[in-house]
Structure 1
Amino acid sequence: MSKKKIIVTGTSRGIGLELVQILANEGHEVLALSRNEKPVKDLQHDHIHSFPFNLNEEEDLHKVSAFVEKEWGGSLDVLIHNAGSLVNKPFEEISAKELMTVYQTNVFGVFQLSQQLIGKMSKNGHVVTISSMGGVQGSMKFAGLSAYSSSKAAVINLTELLAEEYKENGPSFNVLALGAVQTEMLQEAFPGYEAPTSAKEMAQYIADFSLNGNKYYNGKMLQVSNSTP
């Protein structure tokens, strides 16, 4: 397999941190983006690049684009939107600030970072967005997750729209709706719940899909879940 240039967001813990290690160990060049870059820096991996990154800051979005131009000759093969924000509260108690924080990361960040980078991706490129089963129409829903699950529904629709808009010359777009994975975020949503899938196991699946899924799918939402939640 040819070595790819890959960007992953949300890499300070859980699936994201496992994902960059898997991809880099396979020899791919990975730019790991997170507000806290220390966990990635501590890996001291020759194929992993990083700098502090906040999806809410327009200047940081431009820094990513500049990195691709300077370090990778202006080309990008895979973009994985893994960063996520969650608030677990009764609907009437969620503040406007909390709602905006969730949407800024889970929806607006995906939208704006994609805008920065799609022009650097070829027809063979692949944009993968990590969503949730909570965002899938008709799936089981859980009280307290109205902000999170509705934001995850939004990026499913966005993926379908972008696949249509770029189907002639642009990259492929797919979204993975994950079920329960044993991560810190799962504990925030379902305290005490033990998931059947580890972060490393799910990261391996996402890594394989990001490298090969665009050969078979475009504009599709795949449900990746063996449990409820």
Structure 2
Amino acid sequence: MNKNIVITGTSRGIGFELARLFADQGHQVIALSRNADPIRALDHPNLHPFATDLTNEQSLKEVTQQIKAQFEHIDILVHNAGALVNKPFEELTQADFQKVYQVNVFSVAQLTQLLLPAIPKGGHVVSISSMGGIQGSMKFPGLAAYSSSKGAIITLSELLAEEYKEQQIAFNVLALGAVQTEMLEEAFPGYQAPTTALQMAEYIYNFALTGQQYYNGKVLQVSSSTP
């Protein structure tokens, strides 16, 4: 049965590949990204690109109104967008933390709030976190803002799973290890990851469709290497 799926961060990397996978399988994909051109260029009948600024409260309100006007319900919400600042802790500014948390935490909370009325029983909200946000995992210098924000999203998802369990809406987190994306290159220049964006997108695709049958309020560590 085809589903309506909202994915954030679809202009490149995992989000782009994930949107294309869902669309090719007949699902209706609402692709949210600051730059909608890459998705628009695919000219796919099942892809519905919306240019939106996840860090802007009004922009999020406007785009969710448009989504609700076009789609009766949203079956799956994938919070894939991410922001990363890589610099020594002593050099991190309040603005750096604000930028990272605005995308990785605050926009996730607000978009979830705005779309929850459209998510039916059996719906699945999947947040993409990082192994860097897992307590006890190996940490890397320069990623204080990024990894702490990814830890925050894990706790938020666990709380929402509890709060909405009577509505039977599942909230789960995938904590990804290294994937060969532009963001990885920014964090670890020159590092070659064992997993491609498409390979990870295929995993997320299957989990988003079926994971709620087995998990709720859980964090799955999706990593075969360090980092």
TM-score normalised by the chain length of structure 1: 0.98
Which of the residues 136, 139, 144 maps onto 1:146? 144
Structure 2, unpaired ranges of 5+: none
> Within 2, Cα distance between the matches of 1:71 and 1:218?
28
Residues 121 and 170 of structure 1 are in contact (CA less than 8 Å); yes or no, is this contact kept in structure 2? no
Off by >3 Å, runs of 4+ in structure 1: none
* 1:129-208 equivalences in 2 (<5 Å): 129-208=127-206
Residues 50 and 63 of structure 2 are in contact (CA less than 8 Å); yes or no, is this contact kept in structure 1? no
> Within 2, Cα distance between the matches of 1:211 and 1:53?
25
Compare 7-16 and 114-123 and name the one that shifted more.
114-123
Q: Percent identity?
A: 59
* 1:45-56 equivalences in 2 (<5 Å): 45-56=44-55
Residue in 2 that maps onto 1:83: 81
Residue 94 of structure 1: CA displacement? 0.8
Structure 1, unpaired ranges of 5+: none
Residue in 2 that maps onto 1:12: 11
> Within 1, Cα distance between the matches of 2:155 and 2:32?
24
Residue 22 of structure 1: CA displacement? 0.2
Residues 118 and 171 of structure 1 are in contact (CA less than 8 Å); yes or no, is this contact kept in structure 2? no
3-state SS of 2:224 partner:
coil
Residues 23 and 30 of structure 1 are in contact (CA less than 8 Å); yes or no, is this contact kept in structure 2? yes
Which of the residues 218, 224, 227 maps onto 2:225? 227
> Within 2, Cα distance between the matches of 1:10 and 1:194?
22
> Within 2, Cα distance between the matches of 1:64 and 1:226?
36
TM-score normalised by the chain length of structure 2: 0.98
Rate the CA distance shift 1:170–1:64 in 2: closer, same or farther, 3 A: farther
- Number of corresponding residues: 227
